[in-house]
Amino acid sequence: MTVTGTRNAPDVVDVVALGESMVTFLPARPGRLADVPAFHRSIGGAESNVACALAAAGHTTRWVSRVGADGFGDHLVEAIGAYGVDVSYVRRDPSRPTGVYFRTAGDRADDTHEVAYYRAGSAASAMSPTEVDLEAARAGRVLHLSGITAALSPDCLDLMRELTAPRPGRPLVSFDVNHRPGLWGEGQDPDVLLELARGADIVFVGEDEARQAWGLHGARAVREALPEPEIVVVKQGKGGAVAFAKGTDGPCEDADGTATFVRALHVDVVAAVGAGDAFAAGFLSSTLRGLPVRDRLRHGHLAAAATLTTPGDLAPPPPRTLADRLAALDDPAWGRLRLGPGWTDADAEAAEEARTP
């Protein structure tokens, strides 16, 4: 086994993201997988998506993972590194392949959506407390994890337990539940995601996945089941998102902390994939900047809107000046916003118009 450019003392970055990334094959046209004649190659991975989005927003980021010593592994390392993400702690495994998957063009929540994973026995599924560089994983202001990793193998679950366990000097741990029913085989219990979430500082979870994985109904029930994290963000789809935060800049409603709700934006959706990762990136970016909880939620929605209005899993985030201006709108103006393809170029277009005689 070789390690790409391992350093003795990892540099401290803003965000470290740890998890499996795969080569993604996107359909050339809508339809069933059986009917799609060709696919376009891309990259996919919840954690690396967050790292790439944060790097594009100007933060220093690192992706920690394992890939095969194969062409697909080369592509992942090169493509993610091209975003400005530090990939020097990605280990290459000569005996296990890089995972790949194929998906249809539809919304993941749609009954017609299909995903075919080829990740069993992948290099990333062999991640464990001894098969990743824990020092590099912890050398960040934030460590971002997701529940997908916990489902890959018992070794991966051991690694997640190690990284979410309380310890002196650990980074702020961000955990996106990301419950994927298809990954949880017989004998595996998704309740372990609840255990891992309780060890995190910031938790992202969809109201629908909390209901499916844990039988919880409503945002308040989720917070009651997760009293430990400093912030619990419950995403409510097209309705919006609510954050329960301890010790925020306002009087707490109760022991759970202040509940802050921000409605979702009106978006002309091009492809409903990658929005959750973008939301997490927008929220974490504004967390690193020390913004109030309401603004963190708004930046999450804006980052998600950037991805929803493009065809792939990853999209350039809106320029910070534009995002800050929109996030500062009053509630009626925020509610009137409608964003479509190309909206993130609004500032550039306005500047160009100003320069044109």
Give me the pLDDT at residue 346, please.
66
Amino acid at 309: T
C-beta separation of 244 from 223 below 8 A: yes
Quote the tokens at residue 230: 């400093």
Give me the pLDDT at residue 273, please.
79
In angstroms, rounded to a whole number, what is the distance separating the alpha carbons of residues 31 and 326? 36
* Residues designated catalytic: 277
**Residue 345: how many other CB atoms lie within 10 Å:** 14
Q: With a cut of 70, which residues of the chain have pLDDT below it?
A: 1-8, 106-112, 186-187, 248-257, 346-357
Q: What is the CA radius of gyration of the chain?
A: 20
What Cα–Cα distance (Å) separates residue 111 from each residue in 34, 37, 276, 277, 347?
16, 21, 19, 21, 38
Give me the pLDDT at residue 302, please.
97
**Residue 37: how many other CB atoms lie within 10 Å:** 8
Give me the pLDDT at residue 315, please.
85
State pLDDT tens for residues 201-257: 999 999 999 999 999 999 999 999 999 999 999 999 999 999 999 975 443 344 455
Amino acid at 249: D
Query: Under 8 Å CB-to-CB from 156, ≥6 apart: which residues?
Result: 124, 125, 127, 128, 149, 150
**Residue 41: how many other CB atoms lie within 10 Å:** 12
Give me the pLDDT at residue 258, please.
79
Give me the pLDDT at residue 186, please.
67
Quote the tokens at residue 159: 């690694």
Please give the model's pTM, rounded to 2 decimal places.
Answer: 0.90
